[in-house]
Amino acid sequence: MFEKILVANRGEIAVRVIRACHLLGIKAVAVYSDVDRLSQHVLLADEAYPIGPAPASESYLRGDKIIDVALSRGAQAIHPGYGFLSENADFAQQVTDAGLTWIGPPPSAIASMGSKTQARSIMQKAGVPVVPGSPAGIERDEEAKKTAEKIGYPVLIKAAMGGGGKGMRVVHEPDELINALEGARRESLAAFSSPLVYLEKYIERPRHIEIQVFADHHGNVIHLGERECSIQRRHQKVVEESPSAVVTPKLREQMGSAAVDAAKACGYQNAGTVEFLVDPDLNFYFLEMNTRLQVEHPVTEMVTGIDLVQLQIRSAAGEVLPYKQEDIRQRGHAIEFRVYSEDSLGNFLPSTGTISYPKPPDGFGIREDSGVSAGGKISIHYDPMISKLVVWGKDRPEAIDRMKRALTEYRIAGLRTTIPFGIFVMNNESFRKGEIDTGFVAREFDAEVLRREEERLEKIIALAVAWSRHTGKDKPIAQPCGNGKAGTSAAVLDGSNWKRKGREKLHR
Amino acid sequence: MSKEIESYRVEVNGRTYEVGFPEEDAGVAEIDGERVRIDAELETPPIHYSFLIDGASYLVTLEPDDNEYGQYRAHLMGYDYEAEAISSREAFLRDFIRAAGVGKSEGVIKAPMPGLIVKTDVEIGDTVKKNQGVIVMEAMKMENEIKAPMDGTIKSLNVKAGDAVEKNQVLAEIVDKEATDQVRHNS
């Protein structure tokens, strides 16, 4: 087993990995950018080293610096977390070439699954069902037009090298195509350094259901059941759960074995996720494979009882998978809600700021994976996720109620968050019935409902603010007022001690 | 019988409330004429307060603005509020000053968040319709289209593609048709 692991990430996932290291008695090395000196991952790690300025391209994406730190500080392995360099095959190769262990899949598997078009063709060959679409990256507009006509509108434009919804556009009408292509290429170029996009048949009302797979270095591949991630805004997941409300044991077996086939087809090792679109008739289509730990991995951990990050580390060290497929059981129901610094009432626009004294909920069945603390800044440089709130319940209704309780208890100030949106989802009839698909937010979410609730509570705020102003509790008083000395204002002289604050602004 | 009440004008997310505290009873407040019992304690310093209002329990975070006395950012049940409390005397003064000022009908387009300008779709002098896309900016690696708040003419455009902007930075200004005609007439 390793003695020291470098964690090449920040935020909650770095914290998650450091905790797994400590559980195994392994020392954890953190790296951090200039703005992250006081981030949780730096505080929790055994050692921490600076790697550059705030922009990720000058710090967390600097593979060379990260490898230097690992080598000079005696780490034997690198865990990339998710995002940043986690799906960068070149970096994985450089880590291996430097004599370090890469805690993740082989670079070849990252590369083949990283190209969505290549992934599609590998999956087709392996007999895994795929969505009809264009075979390769489309460069010419004419070609895109022809392909779109062939597969039929609506079509989906996707970044060939991308993920996470960036560079993605739905096109309903032929005359929208060119504009959408331009936008998608621009976003793709900015996010993934490649303007290459491709087209896919847009499946109406699909559910997003993915299978967690795990492969050791000895040819054993298992799946750990599904996660449903249909609640998305801007094509990004916000609520994830396991099991899915619609997956039957039979469907789980079919999707699970398709996912295991997919992992075998690309020579996979370590933790990976095979994403599927599931149509209303429960046909499933391969969407993509994520060659890393997923943000939403905790829901799988909560229902299977398996610590996936610990398993990743053990497996990378060469251990044989301690589980067979039949050992994997789902118990109860888990839901994850991503708390983002976004305005629930304002179209999910990013809200930046400094988090003041957060008070996350606790109690039975609640897990919070958070990488920020009081005074933690949510800056424009990184992902605006504040924390992942995860709940477990004996069944889906209980898990939903527990999430609702957790969200209403969550106190966070300093910025706007997706918490009101989360409460909306937990109260929503369709969600509670399990009747969801990726169009849920567009169809069901009504910010007016939240606005009414916000307005209902305004009176409380008005009273609180007036009380604070009235009592002067908001500001330390430098010197006693109202002592009757010459020059003291009338407000003080009339004997009302509590009026003294009122004059300050007037007399400034 | 005259009772002395110290009152405040409170603006919460743009709506105005009158809140008063009768001097003879510290446990009472009046909001828009309605009497409630109020009990407040600082629960976790420095910003988490417990309010009991007619017995109902609320956990409110109150963050006073360091620079603008009387202004607060407050949170309750996951909602975010911007609030300002001014005394009735301050309110009186402010109304007086406002009444003396001159109103102007202009639309100011501000950056809704910090980010990067991707492109501008208009030039100075262009006529725009309400909700027409004017500027595309990128924040958190997502593109957001910023729309015209009103019909009118672009009076100023302060950014170009590639510019980094701060939240609330003025990106462009729109003047309505009447004002436009007036500008033309005057020049």
Distance CA A141, CA A139 (A): 7
User: Do residue A323 and residue A336 come from a single domain?
Assistant: no
Q: Which of A159, A176, A201 is the last residue of a domain?
A: A201
Using CB atoms, pick whichever of B31, B44, B48 lies closest to residue A462.
Answer: B31
Q: Which residues of A touch B67 (CB under 8 A)?
A: none
Do A238 and A421 meet the contact criterion of CB atoms below 8 Å apart? yes
Domain count, chain A: 5
In a domain, A119, yes or no: no
pLDDT at position B95 over 70 = yes
In a domain, A111, yes or no: no
User: Do residue B111 and residue B92 come from a single domain?
Assistant: no
CATH code, A347: 3.30.470.20
Using CB atoms, pick whichever of A356, A415, A464 lies closest to residue B49.
Answer: A464
Q: Which of A283, A310, A329 is the last residue of a domain?
A: A329
Q: Is the previous residue joined to B46 through a cis bond, with omega within 30 degrees of 0?
A: yes
Q: Is residue A392 very low, low, confident or very high in pLDDT (cuts 50, 70, 90)? A: very high
Taking an 8 Å cut-off on Cβ atoms, the answer to whether B118 and A191 are in contact is no
The whole domain housing A316 covers 205-329
User: Do residue B12 and residue B88 come from a single domain?
Assistant: yes
User: Do residue B39 and residue B65 come from a single domain?
Assistant: yes
User: Do residue B167 and residue B111 come from a single domain?
Assistant: yes
Cα A83 to Cα A382, A383, A488: the distances in Å are 10, 9, 61
Domain count, chain B: 2
Query: pLDDT tens digits for A110-129?
Result: 999 998 779 989 999 999 99
CATH code, A189: 3.30.1490.20
Query: pLDDT tens digits for A140-178?
Result: 888 889 889 988 899 999 888 876 677 788 999 999 999
Q: Dihedral of the CA atoms B33, B36, B41, B46 (nearest 10)?
A: -40
User: Do residue A232 and residue A348 come from a single domain?
Assistant: no
Tokens standing for residue B136: 């595309």
Q: How far is A71 from chain B (nearest CA, A)?
A: 32
Confidence at residue A504, expressed as pLDDT on a 0 to 100 scale: 42
User: Do residue B110 and residue B147 come from a single domain?
Assistant: yes
Q: Which of B66, B100, B134 is the last residue of a domain?
A: B100
The whole domain housing B47 covers 5-100
Taking an 8 Å cut-off on Cβ atoms, the answer to whether B85 and A465 are in contact is yes
Using CB atoms, pick whichever of A166, A413, A465 lies closest to residue B83.
Answer: A465
Cα A248 to Cα A31, A252, A256: the distances in Å are 43, 6, 12
Confidence at residue A483, expressed as pLDDT on a 0 to 100 scale: 38
Does A475 contact chain B (CB < 8 Å)? yes
Do A7 and A73 meet the contact criterion of CB atoms below 8 Å apart? no
Q: Is residue A353 very low, low, confident or very high in pLDDT (cuts 50, 70, 90)? A: confident
User: Do residue A443 and residue A373 come from a single domain?
Assistant: yes
User: Do residue A302 and residue A314 come from a single domain?
Assistant: yes
- Residue A292 falls in the annotated catalytic set: yes
Q: Which residues of A touch B85 (CB under 8 A)?
A: 465-466, 468-469
User: Looking up tokens 């264009």, which residue turns up?
Assistant: A134
Using CA coordinates, name the residue in chain A closest to B6: A499
Angle, alpha carbons A43-A46-A51 (nearest 5°) = 70
Taking an 8 Å cut-off on Cβ atoms, the answer to whether B86 and A505 are in contact is yes
Query: For residues B89-100, b (16+ Cβ closer than 10 Å) or e, as one string?
Result: ebbeeeeeeeee
Query: pLDDT tens digits for A174-197?
Result: 999 999 998 888 888 888 888 888
In sequence order, what are the residues at sequence separation of 6 or more whose Cβ sits closer than 8 angstroms to the Cβ of residue B183? B155, B175
Query: pLDDT tens digits for B102-132?
Result: 444 467 888 877 888 999 999 999 998 888 8
Using CB atoms, pick whichever of B10, B12, B87 lies closest to residue A502.
Answer: B87
User: Do residue B121 and residue B167 come from a single domain?
Assistant: yes
Taking an 8 Å cut-off on Cβ atoms, the answer to whether B78 and A166 are in contact is no
Confidence at residue B109, expressed as pLDDT on a 0 to 100 scale: 86
pLDDT at position A8 over 50 = yes
User: Do residue A218 and residue A251 come from a single domain?
Assistant: yes
Distance CA A448, CA A440 (A): 16
Complex-level ipTM: 0.70
Q: Is residue A478 very low, low, confident or very high in pLDDT (cuts 50, 70, 90)? A: very low
Taking an 8 Å cut-off on Cβ atoms, the answer to whether B64 and A475 are in contact is yes
User: Do residue A377 and residue A398 come from a single domain?
Assistant: yes
User: Do residue B94 and residue B13 come from a single domain?
Assistant: yes
The interface residues of chain A toward chain B in range 180-209, judged by CB-CB distance below 8 A, are: 183, 186-187, 190-191
In a domain, A64, yes or no: yes
Taking an 8 Å cut-off on Cβ atoms, the answer to whether A453 and B79 are in contact is yes
